[in-house]
Amino acid sequence: MSLLRRPTFGLLVLSIFIHSIVVAAPVVAASEADNGSGQTTVLNRETAVNLAIKNNPSLLGARQKVVAARARRLQADGFESPSVTWEWEEARQLDKPGQFGNQIYGVEQSLEWPVLRHRRKQAADLGIDAAAARSERRRLQIIAQVNKAFDQVLLTDAVYDLLQEMARRTAEAVDISRVRVKGGTGKYVDLLRTRIARERLQNEARDTKVRLAAAHRQLNILLGSDRAYTIKGELTFGALSVGQRDWFARAQQQGPTALLIQHRIAQSKKEIDVARANRFPELTLGLGRQRLRDNTRNEYAWAGVIGLKFPIPGTDRQRGLENEARASANAVQYTAQTLQYETQARLQQRIDEAITLETQIENYRDRILPDVDDQLKAARQEYSVRRIDALNLLDVYTTYLETRRSYLQALVRYRAAQTDLDTLGEDLWEVDL
């Protein structure tokens, strides 16, 4: 007899197997948790945008609204549930008073007038188009917001590094001033000035580090994730292209907001037609089987029903439906007109800002930044040989810091304007249509 066929040995093997699974499960789970918490994912700009498009909750919700619009179209294409009927009469017999006499059983179906049905489906089709335009608009918004948040992380990180650099250089000036004071060749006020400047820079660096963490959290919100990411990228400068300069016309022709306005206006007009089509009658068709009982003899025959439900012209209900549809259409028209004015103004404002910032950045790169770099080198050299005091040195350091920071901020603003150009300005306004 085989060992595996013995009951005692089989139970022993089974218990060892189960025990090994129970013991190993926490180890495997802990390993996976360690990998998930200890490993940081590196994100570049393209990966961040793709991740946001995949996981952002608001974008997923906008896509579900398209699914809901398709479901409403499916409802418009459907029919009301049929009615099953059974009619009977009591048999007129003294000996069997509870027996059924004449009976009719069948099914009835109510049908909308074809014109009403057709117009309702047309309105539902336009609703799908409007929901798709909203979803595309939200997608472009997410792309713009992720790019801007990504640049904010890079900007804050660059400013933090800049502050750390200036704090180190100021610390070097503190050491030089301390040596001079101890040697009796320096001023104590220079030591105090440099030391105060160093502490202020360190405090500002601490605040910037907090803002850097906040920028990371804001980016994570857009990514739809709470994981820790390492951002990899650069704040580069690119001149406005010819295609970006005519983006105003492209936004009016291809922008999701412009398409949404068109679809909502068409849908509101079609809803007026739907309300008017309620004047048409409702058709009822039925088919049944009837049994006619005459004493002890039964006769069977088919029975049909054709009915028309005519609405009374000029009723409060019908007039209310039509007036509501017209008022809603007018409201859509006015809202769309306001939105068109707003989009035109903000688009033009954005293109003006982009052109102005482009000129400023070119001026920074060609003239201002080289000058502040040379000034910094000259000031450090002259302070080391005592040609200038600490006050002049700190003034140069402040000029260098503020100029570099202003350049980075202008560059991020310019890149934000470029992002709005690429996304047809969909992140510049809110839509309530």
The answer to whether the beta carbons of residues 394 and 194 sit under 8 Å apart is yes
pLDDT tens, the chain, 433 aa long: 343 344 433 433 334 343 443 333 333 333 333 344 456 789 999 999 999 999 999 999 999 999 999 999 999 988 888 899 888 776 655 455 555 667 888 999 988 888 999 999 999 999 999 999 999 999 999 999 999 999 999 999 999 999 999 999 999 999 999 999 998 888 899 999 999 999 999 999 999 999 999 999 999 999 998 888 899 999 999 888 756 567 778 888 889 999 999 999 999 999 999 999 989 998 899 999 888 776 667 788 888 889 888 888 788 889 999 999 999 999 999 999 999 999 989 988 998 999 999 999 999 999 999 999 999 999 999 998 989 999 999 999 999 999 999 999 999 999 999 999 889 999 999 888 8
The answer for residues whose C-beta is within 8 angstroms of residue 174's C-beta and 6 or more apart is: 191, 194, 195, 198
CA distances from 114 to 79, 210, 270, 280, 426 (A): 12, 65, 15, 9, 40
Cα 56 to Cα 49: distance, rounded to the nearest angstrom:
10
* Crossing angle (nearest 10°) for helices 114-183 and 369-384: 20
Q: Do the bridges between strand 100-111 and strand 229-231 make them parallel or antiparallel, or are there none, so unpaired? A: unpaired
What is the sign, positive or negative, of the torsion defined by CA atoms of 356, 357, 361, 362?
negative
CA distances from 426 to 71, 229, 251 (A): 27, 27, 9
Cα 366 to Cα 236: distance, rounded to the nearest angstrom:
15
Cα 380 to Cα 388: distance, rounded to the nearest angstrom:
9
Q: What is the CATH number of domain 40-79+134-271+336-422?
A: 1.20.1600.10
Domain extents for the chain? Answer: 40-79+134-271+336-422
If we measure between CA atoms, which residue out of 236, 239, 56 comes closest to residue 135? 56
Residue 22, burial from CB neighbour count under 10 angstroms (0-12, 13-18, 19+): exposed
Measured in degrees and rounded to the nearest 5, phi and psi for residue 98 equal -90, 0
Cα 199 to Cα 272: distance, rounded to the nearest angstrom:
70
If we measure between CA atoms, which residue out of 232, 231, 207, 203 comes closest to residue 217? 231
